[in-house]
Amino acid sequence: MAADKNNNELSTAVREQVPHFAVAGVFSGVINLLYLSSPLYLMQIYNRVLVSENVTTLVLLTLILVCALLTMGALDALRAQLLVRAGMRLDRSLAGRVFDALVRKSARLGYSKGSQSLRQLDQFRTFITGPGIYFAFDLPWIPLYLLLLFLIHPVLGIVSTVGAAILLLLALVNERTTRPSLRVAESEGNRAYAFSENILRHSDVVVAMGMQPAIEGHWQRSRDTMLASQGMASDRNAVVSSGIRFARLLLQALMLGAGAWLAIGGSIQPATIFAASIIMGRALVPVEQGVATWKQFTEARSAYREVGRLLGEVPSREEKTVVPADRNGLDAEHLVYALPSRPEPILRDISFSIRPGEAIGIVGPSGSGKSTLAKLIIGAVPASSGTLAFGGLSYRNWDPTLLGRNIGYLPQDVGLFAGTVRENIARFGEADIEEIVIAAKKAGIHDMILGLPKQYDTELGPEGVGLSGGQRQRLGLARALLGQPALLVLDEPNANLDTAGETGLRHALDALKASGTTIVLVTHRTTVLEVVDRLMFIRNGRLEILAPQEEVYRHIKETVVPEMKAAE
């Protein structure tokens, strides 16, 4: 069903451009008809002007030809402009949807899927709205040209029809022989590009630990496979393309020879030989265009499938028209979160209730599911089963954007983006500078920002390059605090903070609690747990206890520590 929905979604976006394609098709029909003006002009020159030696007739015929060619050129330009507009409309229909699906899928998987699907969308859009699709507009006119050749003389029609069939057969052979290699090349190329993007994001690790030769070897193996497959496809394409060129030239020669034979026998006029050659050449143009753009066609077809698969995996969001809740309590019942790639759920049967304005700390061993629970709470990923409600309203009924505006979130890796300090704190929205400064002051980073070259307009690189780890964390905290969020979720917020930074964080959390913000704090370091009202202890994906800190510590001491000693 997902595949059907996705295909409908894609086909609907393409069908919306049918009026543009229809007009382009009409233009193509007129262009093909006007193309006949050249062979007709040639025949009139030979059969009428040279016989009558009438200069006036020559001038009129030439003017008619010029008008026809000018009209053909103008329509060709209009067709190109029309298809460009169709491409822009198609991009507006699909690009945002593909971007949304990429973000949501990456959030669900916990790692980046890269931007390959956006490039694939561009491949598909460029092909169906660019010169590569011209052969499809001209293809239906091949029978007309062949019919004209039959009307001139059956022999010429037979020669050209047989020749066109041979060229089409060679084009089909070219597609069948190159398709597997191109598919492998595309797959390995995508893998190599995704791997290189990942390496470049963590180049400091690669350089620091002497990993570059091994990493480069791993990357090169994928690239070698891609190049080998591309080379195999190119070799086969070169052989078939050479055969097509040979058949094309031979067919032209045979057309001239057949025409000469017919002219000698008096069946046609000598001028008809050249007119028939021009008509046949035009008839074969779509075939040659198809062969020349076959690689782009296969890539566009593959891109269509991949984009469709992505949209099928991540259905479009349903429109939400609910009224936002005015409370900020958090309730979970029997939450389960699982990934298809893992046999066991990451979280199992999690149930809890957090009162409005309460601060909860989530603790537990590494890999127990704390960060995953945080992502469920912020709505970044949906639960596999169970219910989660914020403000008494199920996450299924919240509009994601509206929910996000009520939530502040600081992940472990902060997640800053290339842009200015102001844009990062403002979540790349239109927040007022006063609101941004208030958030920065709460996070204790305002004075540091004033010391930057352009203060709040200082440009940062990807991941906040240009700032220290502690500064990035404080900047991420300022972003989370923007607009006094009703729910604040912090995942290891003091991992890179010094003593002064931790003190500032505690003061900020105390102020937020006093103003009624509900706080969920995931941490291994106990220094910031002084602000929490209760602790949630998670182990092996299960919630073992949610209670005041003393009870949780007693549970750990009486249950977990003996089990660890027994395991040793």
- Give me the residue label for tokens 């460009």: 84
Cβ neighbours around 276 below 10 Å, total: 27
Evaluate whether 523 touches 361 at the Cβ level (below 8 Å): yes
Digit-by-digit pLDDT tens for the chain (568 residues) are 344 444 577 778 888 888 888 898 899 889 988 888 888 888 888 878 877 878 888 899 899 999 999 999 999 999 988 888 888 888 888 888 888 787 777 766 655 555 677 788 888 888 888 877 887 888 888 888 888 888 888 998 898 888 888 877 887 777 777 777 767 776 766 666 666 666 666 666 666 667 677 767 766 777 777 777 777 777 777 777 777 778 878 888 888 888 889 888 888 888 888 888 888 888 877 777 776 777 778 778 888 888 888 887 777 776 654 545 556 788 899 989 887 777 788 889 889 998 888 889 898 888 888 888 888 888 888 888 888 888 888 888 887 778 888 888 888 877 788 888 888 888 888 888 888 888 888 888 888 888 888 888 888 877 777 778 788 888 888 888 888 888 888 888 877 777 777 777 788 888 888 888 888 988 877 777 888 889 888 888 888 888 888 888 888 887 866 666 665 5
Is residue 542 located within the same domain as residue 417?
yes
For residue 43, tell me if it sits in a domain.
yes
For residue 321, tell me if it sits in a domain.
no
For residue 318, tell me if it sits in a domain.
no
Range of the domain at 490: 330-567
- Tally of domains in the chain: 2
Domain of 160, CATH number, reads 1.20.1560.10
Evaluate whether 192 touches 219 at the Cβ level (below 8 Å): yes
Is residue 350 located within the same domain as residue 225?
no
Domain of 399, CATH number, reads 3.40.50.300
Identity at 393, one-letter amino acid code: L
Last residue of a domain, one of 251, 284, 313: 313
Burial of 249 (0-12, 13-18, 19+ CB in 10 A): exposed
Is residue 291 located within the same domain as residue 394?
no
Is residue 419 located within the same domain as residue 291?
no
Is residue 499 located within the same domain as residue 384?
yes
For residue 309, tell me if it sits in a domain.
yes
Is residue 353 located within the same domain as residue 289?
no
Last residue of a domain, one of 313, 347, 370: 313
Evaluate whether 379 touches 520 at the Cβ level (below 8 Å): no
CA distance 345 to 381: 14
pTM of the full structure: 0.65
CA distance 356 to 108: 27
For residue 259, tell me if it sits in a domain.
yes
Evaluate whether 10 touches 94 at the Cβ level (below 8 Å): yes
Is residue 351 located within the same domain as residue 283?
no
The two three-digit tokens of residue 39, written as one number: 């062979």
For residue 87, tell me if it sits in a domain.
yes
Is residue 111 located within the same domain as residue 6?
yes
CB crowding 163-194: b at 16 or more within 10 Å, else e: bbebbbebbeebbebbbebbebbbebbbbbbb
* Residue 331, CB-side half-sphere exposure with 13 Å CA sphere: 9
Is residue 337 located within the same domain as residue 273?
no
Is residue 303 located within the same domain as residue 336?
no
Is residue 287 located within the same domain as residue 425?
no
Last residue of a domain, one of 262, 286, 313: 313
Is residue 340 located within the same domain as residue 306?
no
